[in-house]
Chains A and B, each alone.
Chain A
């Protein structure tokens, strides 16, 4: 060894040592940050699948409206007590209220406060007349009009809750009565009651004290609701409780996710440890693998939390399954040290590994960086987790392994057998027989891919508890709840114009109500007519002056009474500020970029046909918003986009690898390309539709498949690389195989596709290994820095 080389060596060693310490500092810092926030983070794991979805940037008004709806709906919890008679339902409701006294819930005011409404409307009552009464005024003469008022004066009492003098024709009473159509629920004591046929539903409305996705709240609420259930079973055996609320689904999903996360996490970890132990039979090797995994997980979790401030359960599950990727580097390094001996050789062998180790990072990093660029929160989070986790594990292997590798690592019988397996594995030689098989495979793959269907329906990804779903549907039917995801958005320059457009829209909707295609609606204009309409009502009331004069004479009332009061109109501003309107304010979206908007919610919308007809009512100021359809469209959009990223990755990565592998590049790419095509073909044959998540996992397959090809082509001793690939593939298969057993369709999709893809990549990789005589690609990869040690190594060989 000459002196320049040893000084180089020394400098390199010093530099490496500094980097290793640096990495330790970084990890310690990340760990400290993680722990400092562990408490506040508890229970802040997202389980809402929709939280992963991108924001619809094309339409900020619609997005804001839907957000309001979601946020409002998210914290609501409705409990319905169903009993054969109202009194029992009411007693049960009172009992439930008692039991839930300390629950993390705030009891909600039943509905719009009718009496507060009356006080708010009273000064403006001349402007509040139903269309039916408007027609009546137009069609009748003063005698008939006077007769109506006279007759009302003799009734038991006037219907408007006003004195006869203030509402002699009962118009205001009729108008107020129409408000009752807004909801089938009627106060019964201090409880809301709905009656359908011979079933009585006592309604208890609650607001959660915290987010529906808080696990603390979910746990407490689950215990409280169980207590209610037990209590009811004991005291009111004939009362059934129906529950509805996002929180219930969130809790069920969270519990499921937690269970599966720990199952898959621990299953993958256990499988990993067993396999590593079976292959290496060495505690030190086991510890090293664990070390790289821990470093990867730490980097992934802490960086994701640092950047996104929250973490989704799906990200964690995805992350748990990345064990197979992160462990690759460690396993590869360990496999290369089988049968090695002595500290010096350990270093040399490690140095020899550096080039391929550096290259294996390229494919996954490129793929995931592509994901990071997309405006899709869920995918970005997963990509961030994957990139930081993989780099964390990789850095650990690169910087720490040289110091920690066991000095000797004898080949175990199992490892030897696995390595021998490679000898018997078919190798692509381009023989006519192989070309025939390839042609047949191409036909099968082509046929499968032709049958491939796509499915972007977001609902197919969500797993819902059938019992909860039934209760939710029952509640929605009993309370006649509007659809939260399909609505009209009305936008105009002033609040008054918004109300006028709402009124025009409702007029267009009346055939739908008449045909029973829709059963009702929620809209501000039901509660607040436009000023224009109020003005029309006051004009109409002028026609009553003669009748009023006759009544005044009959009842000796003053001339002041005769003149219909020409009050101002009730404005949107005053209405919105009134506490009476508090529970309806969600219908008003307020001002945004100088435009005002409101939403009109529809009840009883069942079929897609009607939805399509409603969509045609859209205009300059009225817009039909269908969140379900929009999300599915977005999913489709991103599926296409992600497919392009995948294709781009397949085109770009070979270009990056070309300088290193030259004409052997195709051998690196082929396994993952064939695995991807094969997976798509199997999906086509079996009938699994292509979804956004499938494409995501194909990206994962791409990354891992390239790694396998790279290991095998780059390494001289391909038996050892093959061993590493076997271990890595088996680990990944174990992790994703477990995922395929998940009851969440989204995760099942990921698990199934990845297991298929990785399995195929594993099978295909040895097929494209280098022919024996060609030797190692390593000479091409040698860099100036390690040439000397490589020559030395050759000499020792």
Chain B
């Protein structure tokens, strides 16, 4: 339970950081126009971490569902199975059916903002991310794009060195470099978009 909490705490640090205004709305608009308008994105992820001082890369895999208005279901399968559900007012971690941790916005004011950052990242809301980061990048070919984000504020800089996103109609890859050097690469695969959640998924959001 505590370790999961730590995952969230890392996001907490994101909040101790923060946003400003998009400097280059034209680029963001161009990227945003290439992204799917579908509300639901499903897929699998592979997360590879390269930790400072450790030779062996650490790989975790799982699947995810994003519903742009409801939230994110992040289901890690290996090596540690667990589900994280991020909704507007709450962040809930489950180990099977057992609730490991519930953070509610009405108890911890930061939770609302946490959801916001996570939403922005997973729901590919580039202009929302751009509030927290300086950005640069370009469109690639007819459908691709690449954006690189650097935290604008000292607090965020202590946690994140940089955030790089690549994709086309969806985000395909996230490269997150920790302020101290640990690197995390998340690749998304088997991505499918849809207008609606399945009944089962909907139930998990309720």
Chain A residues engaging chain B, CB cutoff 8 angstroms: 86-87, 90-91, 113-115, 118, 133, 136, 147-148, 151-159, 161-166, 170, 173-174, 177, 180, 184, 186-190, 194-196, 555-557
Contacts and interface: CB of A to CB of B under 8 A. Distances in A.
5 smallest beta-carbon distances between A and B, as pairs: A159-B9, A159-B10, A170-B6, A151-B3, A189-B20
Contacts of A186: 15-16, 18, 110, 113
Interface string B138-169: 00000000000000111101111000000000
A555 B53 CA distance: 9
A170 B15 CA distance: 18
A556 B8 CA distance: 27
A189 B20 CA distance: 5
Nearest to B52: A163
A166 B6 contact: no
Contact of A155 (B3, B17, B152): B3
Contacts of B47: 154, 156
A147 B3 CA distance: 9
B180 A163 contact: yes
B60 interface: yes
29 contacts: A148-B2, A151-B3, A152-B3, A152-B6, A153-B49, A154-B58, A159-B6, A159-B7, A159-B8, A161-B159, A163-B181, A163-B182, A164-B182, A165-B52, A166-B180, A170-B6, A173-B9, A173-B10, A174-B2, A174-B6, A180-B12, A186-B15, A186-B18, A189-B19, A189-B152, A189-B153, A556-B54, A557-B53, A557-B54
B105 to A, nearest CB: 9
A161 B51 CA distance: 13
Given A114-B158, A152-B3, A165-B52, A190 B153 contact: yes
Contacts of B79: 154
Grouping DSSP codes into helix (H, G, I), strand (E, B) and loop, the B interface class, with mixed when no group exceeds half, is mixed
Contacts of A159: 6-10, 12-13
Nearest to A165: B53
Contacts of A555: 51, 54, 56
A114 B18 CA distance: 13
B25 interface: no
A151 B79 CA distance: 8
Contact of B51 (A118, A164, A180): A164
B118 to A, nearest CB: 10
A186 B155 CA distance: 10
A187 B53 contact: no
B3 A115 contact: no
Nearest to B56: A555
B55 interface: yes
Given A186-B16, A186-B110, 5 more contacts: A114-B154, A154-B47, A154-B80, A187-B18, A555-B56
B184 interface: yes
Contacts of B20: 90, 189-190
Interface string B19-60: 111000000000000000000000000010101111110101
B176 A195 contact: no
Nearest to B182: A163
A86 B113 CA distance: 10
A161 B180 contact: yes
Interface residues of B, number: 52
Contact of B178 (A163, A184, A190): A163
A184 B109 contact: yes
Nearest to A184: B109
B99 interface: no
Contacts of B9: 159, 170, 173-174, 177
Contacts of A115: 154-155, 157-158
A556 B153 CA distance: 35
A170 B3 contact: yes
B102 interface: no
A190 B153 CA distance: 6
A600 to B, nearest CB: 24
A344 B154 CA distance: 89
B131 interface: yes
A151 B51 contact: no
A173 B109 contact: no
Nearest to B4: A151
B60 A162 contact: no
A187 B152 CA distance: 11
Contact of B80 (A113, A151, A184): A151
Nearest to A87: B131
A319 B23 CA distance: 62
B164 to A, nearest CB: 14
B110 A153 contact: no
A155 B18 CA distance: 22
Contacts of B2: 133, 136, 148, 170, 174
Contacts of B21: 87, 91
B202 interface: no
B179 interface: yes
A162 B6 CA distance: 12
Contacts of B179: 161
Contacts of B187: none
A31 to B, nearest CB: 58
B180 A195 contact: no
A156 B64 CA distance: 14
A157 B182 CA distance: 7
A173 B18 CA distance: 19
A33 B176 CA distance: 71
A184 B105 CA distance: 13
A159 B182 CA distance: 12
B112 interface: yes
Contact of A162 (B5, B15, B56, B180): B180
Contacts of A136: 2
Contacts of A133: 2
A195 B6 contact: no
A157 B19 CA distance: 20
Contact of B16 (A90, A156, A187): A187
In this complex, the member of A114, A154, A194 whose beta carbon has the largest number of chain B beta carbons within 10 angstroms is A154
In this complex, the member of B3, B176, B178 whose beta carbon has the largest number of chain A beta carbons within 10 angstroms is B3
Contacts of B155: 114-115, 187
A147 B182 CA distance: 20
In this complex, the member of A91, A161, A174 whose beta carbon has the largest number of chain B beta carbons within 10 angstroms is A161
A484 to B, nearest CB: 23
A164 B49 CA distance: 11
A155 B6 contact: yes
B2 to A, nearest CB: 6
Contacts of A152: 3, 6-7
Contacts of B10: 155-159, 173
